[in-house]
Amino acid sequence: MLILLVGYYAYAYVSSKGKADAEEPEETWLPDNILLAIFSTVAGGVMIWKGAIFLLDGATGLAATYDIPTAIVGLSLVALGTSLPELAVTLIAAMRNQGGVAVGNVLGSNVMNILGILGTASVIGGGIEIASKFEGRDIWVVILTSP
């Protein structure tokens, strides 16, 4: 999987090399205060970290309270919650008529999730074992709902 990811990046680099954008250059936004930018970045990271903890605690609490199997909660609520940042970026890019950013965000996110994260986890962990209960319906749900 990591080899596929490296191959994808190499292909993207080679295919874009030498092509000048015909569009006019975008305005760049740079912060006036670097300390404010650093603080905002760190604060955003902390909020994402805390939000992930709240999401997992809430999802497991919901599953326990209403006796819902954790596999269903994981395939639905947690998957939706972890996809919302990409969805927000894609919607904002689409509203600003930046179709390339929208498509690139969706494709980049999926490529990184499938090849980068799974590839790295399998290399570090010595392979990924899929529980037998996920080999049937659940794996097909994941495959069919990933663009």
- Report d(CA 134, CA 147) in Å as an integer: 20
* Domain boundaries, given as residue ranges, for the chain: 70-145
If you average pLDDT over residues 129-137, what whole number do you get?
71
**Residues in the chain, overall count:** 147
Whole-number pLDDT of residue 50: 92
pLDDT tens, residue by residue, 60-96? 898 899 998 888 887 777 777 777 788 888 888 889 8
pLDDT value, residue 42: 96
3-class secondary structure per residue, 3-64: HHHHHHHHHHHHHHCCCCCCCCCCCCCCCCCHHHHHHHHHHHHHHHHHHHHHHHHHHHHHHH
The pLDDT of residue 26: 60
Span 31-57, pLDDT tens digits: 788 899 899 999 999 998 898 788 888
User: Considering only CA atoms, which of 76, 79, 85 is closest in space to residue 106?
Assistant: 85
Tell me, yes or no, if the pTM score tops 0.85: no
Place of tokens 């999987």: 1
Position 102 confidence tier, pLDDT thresholds 50, 70, 90: confident
